[in-house]
A and B are shown apart, each in its own frame.
Chain A
Amino acid sequence: MTGSDLILSAKGMTKQFAGFMAVNNVDLDVRRGSIHALIGPNGAGKTTCFNLLTKFLQPTSGTISFNGRDITTLGASEIARLGMVRSFQISAVFPKLTVIENVRVALQRRRGTNFDFWRAQTVLGEFDAEAMRRVEEVGLEDFAHHTAQELSYGRKRALEIATTLALEPEMLLLDEPMAGMAQADVERISALIKSISAGRTILMVEHNLSVVADLSDTITVLARGQVLAEGGYETVSKDPRVIEAYIGVGHG
């Protein structure tokens, strides 16, 4: 595997919280254009890993590079502007803004870091057509003028994805996109993730192995802050250590 195949690479990533090793010396390589899943039982360090990669947390040691550029010391908003955008475990929408306004906030970033408080917001009208198109992409056109807080959980996640896609990111990091979702919504979001993966790299954190089975090219299993196994679903699901880690903590 050569360097240019890798979009995101972490080496020796470690995060220590007051004497507790949440993430211990993790190496993670994400291939460009793949769907990569990070799974593990509760407390395995998935979300910490995720927060380290997206710079919402600073690693205690180790390096992270994105597109060959060392991003270890950059801030969370800088990462986003480089083209790596994350979602959140609790659906991250702007509750009192309408669906279309939610998407427009993302589109508006194209105006740069602009503090033009003296200009009328009508200039944002230029983004309306595209915002509507993004909303249609995820099937929320009937709800375009509802506030986000009125949407069901599954629709909030769809809105979040629409908002994220509006930034046209090179890489998406999804934090448990299917957590706490009704079955109908799981299938819908799975299909959505599959369809948006064209031309993009996706790294997703999931709790449940079966959810990522059909979706991912590579699966990395974490347990107790360390990498337990890595490979395709077939390899990983048969690995005795993985089975033990899951069954050992009470998951079938």
Chain B
Amino acid sequence: MMQKLKKLDLETLKSHYIVSNTPAYLYKYFRRDNSVQKLAEAASYSELEKIFNSKLKKKEKDLDDLVIIYALVVALSYHDYSKVRSFFEKLSDVDIEWLSNIKEIYLSSAEVTQYRSHNILYKPSQKKKLDAEVSNKVLNTSVEPTTSIRKV
């Protein structure tokens, strides 16, 4: 599982960390980092959470550990909101500078998107009626309105 951390470009991430003036800057540049995106793709949210917890348990953390912790949190921000929401809500309890701010940034940038799908019955014109009778197809059959949550 830890092998997946090798995807991280630690040198670039450390350079982002060191010039960061605000948590928003750190969050944004980590999110834009390709290696963080690759980690997010390669690891499930539960894997990322496990690695995060193991890093937190380490007593004497060095800068690599700190940058990895931030990278894991940001990688989790790419995962499904409904799965990682509770993880982010607990970040205030973690004694790492800026994690609480990152939690706020993440939760405030989550956007609820609602969409509905409708039945559309295909009504052929007279000219096309014959063809339609042959194919006799009804398009789109889903009924229930659906809600999803999208990260922006």
Is the A/B pair a real complex? Answer: no
B residues bordering A, Cβ < 8 Å? none
A residues bordering B, Cβ < 8 Å? none
